[in-house]
Amino acid sequence: MAPIVFYGEHTASLSLYLDGLGPDLANKIAILPPSDLTKDFRHLSAAGLVVYVRGFEHVVRSGLDDALERLGVPRAWFTDDDLIALHGEQPGFQYYNRERVGRFANRMLALVGTTPALCERLGSFHATVLHWPCVLDEALVPAAAAARSPPPRVGVVGGDFRRSGLRELVMPAIEGMPDAELIVAQPISSGISRATVLPFEPEFRRFIDAWRVAGPNILAHPPGRSGNIAVKGAGTLLASLYLGAVPVVADEPAFAGLGRPEGVIRVAADVAQWRAAFLELSDPEARARHFGSLAAYCRTAFPANGPRQTIDLLLARTAPLGPAAQARLQTSQRMAWRPKLSYRAAAITRTMLSSIQSQ
């Protein structure tokens, strides 16, 4: 097993930061998507370091983190969002109040954030906060911009918190462009007309494959309304690059200082500016120029060795591998650990409710 094991789903929250690592760094890392917690515990017991990804409610409520602590397995927490900011805004984040986040952070050897602004917020919970930037996955970069007809094909991805920006800016901007096409991700498609709706795809590479078939040549990123906006990163630029599309983005902190030299069209909350950007990119030659600038910028800004210092610092804190890891594995087997009864009962209840709601 690799020294560092990321315990989380292989979504964009990991793909944008791990998939493009150079071989020397990638060989130090493994990803274990959560499945059966009892089996997961045995796998994790042999790790040099377990890095929890984003949500941690399940590892706390189940007792998994307690069990790993008893074994002497170091743990860290990786997040690309401020979960406390999301606590009062989005379903599924009710657990993440300041007290619980602080208590969990105190158990970790380090916290890992994906932007300097997020790292600054995490610094209120821990003395060791490390920055892990986006990493370009060269294998996903197309040779050129999407070869589509001149009319703009505008794709919009993002969470529900961007729906108002989609409705108030992007849609009015394309209403006066009869040839324009709109492609929208399912999470923000409710109430959106004249759009091709693509289902939500959590696995990042499958998402890229599906959206390439749909073929947007512009990726619009309308402004969002959330307390989390200030700490979000520029992963949208990589997604745009992988799709062969040119990014048209809101004037948000993630894109501060970026503009046309970097292949990014940053616009204010003004319908006329969004329409002007879409009209400009109706020209395939303009798209090709911007796409070339975007590719050059991403190769410079998100190199394969970008997180090297952070990875080296984490490696320096890993538990011994080899015979010591085998001994931890054997101890974990003797422990015969299972999730807490209260957690198992709650999981059964959730399954039953889900079954009833689907009927």
State how beta strands 29-32 and 4-7 pair: parallel
170 pLDDT above the threshold of 80: yes
- Are 75 and 51 in contact, with CB atoms under 8 Å apart? yes
Q: pLDDT tens for residues 211-230?
A: 999 999 999 999 999 999 99
Of 164-168, 260-264, 305-309, the one with minimum mean pLDDT is: 164-168
- Are 162 and 188 in contact, with CB atoms under 8 Å apart? yes
Split at pLDDT 50, 70, 90, the class of 176 is confident
Computed over every residue of the chain, the mean pLDDT equals 91
Q: Which residues contact 53 (CB under 8 A, 6 or more apart)?
A: 6, 7, 8, 9, 13, 14, 78, 79
Rg, the chain, Cα only: 22
- Hey, where are the domains in the chain? 4-135+304-357, 139-301
pLDDT of residue 146: 62
- The verdict on domain 4-135+304-357 having CATH code 2.60.40 is no
- Is the model more confident about 347 or about 314? 314
Q: pLDDT tens for residues 226-268?
A: 999 999 999 999 999 999 999 999 999 999 999 999 999 999 9
Let me know the angle formed at the C-alpha of 103 by 100 and 108, rounded to the nearest 5 degrees.
Answer: 125
pLDDT of residue 297: 98
pLDDT of residue 169: 95
Beta strands in 226-304 (DSSP E): 246-250, 265-267
Alpha-carbon distance of 161 to 182, in angstroms, equals 18
Query: Counting Cβ atoms within 10 Å, is residue 80 exposed (0-12), middle (13-18) or buried (19+)?
Result: buried
pLDDT of residue 191: 73
CA 128 to each of CA 18, 75, 109, 119, 338: distance values in angstroms, whole numbers, following the listed order: 21, 13, 7, 10, 31
* CATH code assigned to 139-301: 3.40.50.2000
Q: Which residues contact 305 (CB under 8 A, 6 or more apart)?
A: 21, 22, 25
Question: Which residue from 7, 52, 11 is spatially nearest to 30, judged by alpha carbons?
Answer: 7
User: Looking at residues 198-210, what average pLDDT do you find?
Assistant: 92
Of 46-55, 58-67, 85-94, 116-125, the one with minimum mean pLDDT is: 85-94
pLDDT of residue 43: 96
Domains 4-135+304-357 and 139-301 share a fold: yes
Q: pLDDT tens for residues 26-69?
A: 999 999 999 999 999 999 999 999 999 999 999 999 999 999 99
